[in-house]
Amino acid sequence: MDKRRGPLRHGMVKEADSRGQIPGTPPSARPCGKRLLVLGGGYVGMYTALHLQHRLKGELAHGAAEIVLITPDPYMTYQPFLPEAAAGSISPAHVVVPLRRVLSKCRIIIGEATAVDHAKRTATVTTLATEEEGTGATELTYDELVIAPGSISRTLPVPGLAAYGIGFKTLEEAIGLRNHVIEQMDIASSTRDPALRDAALTFVFVGGGYAGVEALGELEDMARYTARYYHNIKPADLKWILVEASDRILPEVGEEMGGYAIRELRSRNIDVRLETRLDSCENRIARLSDGSRFPTRTVVWTAGVKPAPLLAATDLPRNSHGRLRCTPRLTVEGTEHAWAAGDAAAVPDITSDDPDALCAPNAQHAVRQAKVLAENLAASLHGKPLKEYAHRNAGSVASLGLHRGVAHVYGRKFKGYPAWLMHRIYHLSRVPTLNRKARILAEWTLSGLFKREIVSLGSLEHPRAEFEQAAGGGTGRNTPKPPSGGGGPRST
Ligand SMILES: Cc1cc2nc3c(=O)[nH]c(=O)nc-3n(C[C@H](O)[C@H](O)[C@H](O)COP(=O)(O)OP(=O)(O)OC[C@H]3O[C@@H](n4cnc5c(N)ncnc54)[C@H](O)[C@@H]3O)c2cc1C
């Protein structure tokens, strides 16, 4: 189903029963009223379901409506905290929100929609159980569709990227990258080969948006701190390179603050290369368009996103970038009973003077769109008029590592410690649930009092390795494994 669970069998599709029975429901279950199907459990999916849960309380209680949410993970990931999770400032469990707890009135199905036939009002769905049962995908019928599968990393055909690149969109990638960086320091510390040491201590990040810059800023900070615990690694031995194809970084915070961010990163010896592209990273050598080459075991790819592949497997209209064409009311253009928002949706920005302007794919829009979408969907069910989504960008905040940041909010610019503090306060106020807020605040407070965590728990990614070795079938966790050609962080 998803990257961790192996490929799905898409070969056969089970016949839908009279109502497109929800997987896991006994056949005797009573038929329900209108089915609202939400695809995706990220910002849009979770917040839409949450608002609908409140607005349709009566209908849900009487069985006049049901909300079914399908998503590959049982949690929503608060992506702006991934860089801090990678740096170890927030524990992984606190970056995610358990969907079953928040959406107690909804049916949550851990699975993936592989296609949507909106003309027939059916979604083809696979779950962990369909894999185990070998029964193939199930068709699920619906009355209203909310389609919010977000986006995936936008890659380019760069030689070596598929084999050696590391993404930074999911919690697994963020924690994998943290473990990988510390592991590289362990390799560098224990090798006698200067070339291997050099490659292990060279970290290349491609893409100067907030994901790339924040990830680099936080990890560089963490690695510099960690270096003090190695007898033979000094912070100056670590080489960090940021490669950006345009002439600026962090376009979200404006030109002046983007320029400040470049100066701040360079003052930390980070090699920021503008108007430069990664041409290849074959054989663990990053070759850049300016002619330079860096042997490295770490290439982090954060050069933008593209809409989720599910959209191409629907009969819904898409624009030239593959996003769903939407109206300002968050309905899918030219259709009835289909709604979309977030990274997957091309929603007109009606606050802009440019009639072709679209809302940017970011959390700021996703959260607000989810609210309007839920209100409109509920209004349409109640026969009330719909409203248009309008939100003028409030600006952006970005962290550049501990106590450093940039912000451009409501026309005002901030840098350094005040911007970093704003970043933390803003995201703390935004992260869903009081429970999460309290836990994150406690973690930040404790990390101010105690020392940072500096361990790599990379072995968690291979929990059976030791037992397999004991049973005589495995190679053990410290034995190098050959590259498999996949995309995740490598430790050999
Ligand atoms: C590292 C990082 C930092 C960021 N920082 C910021 C920031 O500071 N400020 C900001 O405004 N934005 C930020 N963003 C962007 C922001 O997180 C996204 O714009 C936002 O998550 C979009 O919401 P969404 O609901 O459209 O997609 P997502 O939140 O990505 O949710 C999509 C969901 O759909 C699920 N899904 C995918 N395919 C299927 C399928 N076939 N069937 C069922 N479910 C499916 C996914 O698993 C996921 O749960 C950041 C992003 C990253 C990666």
Q: How far is the CA of 170 from the centre of ligand 1 (A)?
A: 9
pTM higher than the cut 0.85: yes
- Residues 185, 212 share a domain: yes
In a domain, residue 106? The reply is yes
Specify the pLDDT at position 252: 83
Q: Is the pLDDT of residue 14 over 80?
A: no
Coil/strand/helix, residue 256:
helix
- Among 76, 95, 170, 343, name the best residue to mutate to test ligand 1's pocket (greatest count of ligand atoms within 8 A of Cβ): 343
Distance in Å, CA 315 to ligand 1 centroid = 22
- If one residue of 8, 75, 210 were mutated to test the ligand 1 pocket, choosing by the most ligand atoms within 8 A of its CB, it would be 210
Backbone angles phi, psi at 415, to 5 degrees: -145, 170
What's the whole-number mean pLDDT along residues 429-449? 89
Given this model, what pLDDT does residue 135 score?
77
Residues 290 and 404 in one domain: yes
The whole-number pLDDT of residue 4 equals: 42
Look at residue 125 in the predicted model and tell me its pLDDT: 95
Co-location of 217 and 284 in the same domain: yes
Task: Name the percent of the chain lying above pLDDT 70.
Answer: 88
Q: Given a cut of 50, is residue 247 above it in pLDDT? A: yes
Residue 221 clears pLDDT 60, i.e. is over it: yes
For residues 145 and 172, membership in a common domain is answered with no
- Specify the pLDDT at position 273: 97
Give me the pLDDT at residue 22, please.
67
Which residues' Cβ are closer than 6 Å to ligand 1? 39-45, 70-73, 79-80, 82, 112-113, 148-150, 168-169, 210-211, 308, 310, 342-344, 361-364, 366
Residues spanned by the domain of 251: 161-303+396-449
Give domain status of residue 404, yes or no. Answer: yes
The CATH number that applies at residue 263 is: 3.50.50.100
Q: Are residues 334 and 401 in the same domain?
A: no
Residues 213 and 299 in one domain: yes
pLDDT-based confidence at residue 32 (cuts at 50, 70, 90): low
**485 found inside a domain:** no
202: part of which helix (H) or strand (E)? strand 202-206
CATH number (domain holding residue 89): 3.50.50.60
- The mean-pLDDT minimum among 132-146, 334-348, 461-475 falls in 461-475
- DSSP E strands, 284-417: 285-288, 293-295, 298-301, 305-307, 324-325, 338-340, 345-346, 395-401, 404-409, 412-415
Q: How many angstroms is it from 61 CA to the middle of ligand 1?
A: 30
* Residue whose CB lies within 8 A of the most ligand 1 atoms, among 5, 69, 71, 408, for a mutation test: 71
Asked whether residue 245 is domain-assigned, the answer is yes
Q: Higher confidence at residue 491 or residue 257? A: 257
Q: Is residue 148 part of a domain?
A: yes
How many whole angstroms separate alpha carbon 382 and alpha carbon 426? 35
381, 407, 437 - which closes a domain: 381
| pLDDT score, position 11 | 43
Among 317, 313, 375, 373, smallest CA distance to 346 is for 317
Do residues 167 and 299 share a domain? Answer: yes
Does the pLDDT value for residue 480 go beyond 70?
no
The CA distances from residue 102 to 97, 105, 106, 216, 217, in Å, are: 8, 9, 9, 32, 32
Note whether 173 and 284 are same-domain residues.
yes
Select from 189, 190, 219 the least CA-distant residue to 203: 219
What is the tens place of the pLDDT at every residue in 77-115? 999 999 999 998 898 999 999 999 999 999 999 999 999
Output the pLDDT for position 25: 65
Tokens of 370: 């989810």
Are the C-beta atoms of residues 70 and 112 closer than 8 Å to each other? yes
CA distance 79 to 211: 9
Neighbours of 334 (CB within 10 A): 10
pLDDT at 183: 94
* 331 in the same domain as 230: no
Question: Does position 350 have pLDDT exceeding 50, yes or no?
Answer: yes
**pLDDT at 178 (0 to 100):** 94
Q: Do 200 and 345 lie in a common domain?
A: no
Q: Same domain, yes or no, for 313 and 369?
A: yes
3-state secondary structure 380-434: HHCCCCCCCCCCCCCEEEEEEECCEEEEEECCEEEEHHHHHHHHHHHHHHHCCCH
In a domain, 67, yes or no: yes
Could you tell me if 343 and 435 lie in one domain? Answer: no
Counting from 1 in the atom list of ligand 1, the atom nearest the Cα of 114 is 41
User: With bands split at pLDDT 50, 70 and 90, how would you rate the model's confidence at 13?
Assistant: low
Kindly report the protein residue whose alpha carbon is nearest to atom 11 of ligand 1: 363
Which residues are CB-contacts of 160 (< 8 A; sequence separation ≥ 6)? Answer: 280, 281, 282, 283, 284, 299
pLDDT of residue 133: 80
> In angstroms, what CA-CA distances link 294 with 146, 182, 204, 290?
45, 19, 8, 12
- Residue-level pLDDT at 101: 93
pLDDT at 262 > cutoff 90: yes
Segment 279-307, tens digit of pLDDT: 999 999 999 999 999 999 999 999 988 99
Atom of ligand 1 nearest to the CA of 44: 25
Number of domains in the chain: 2
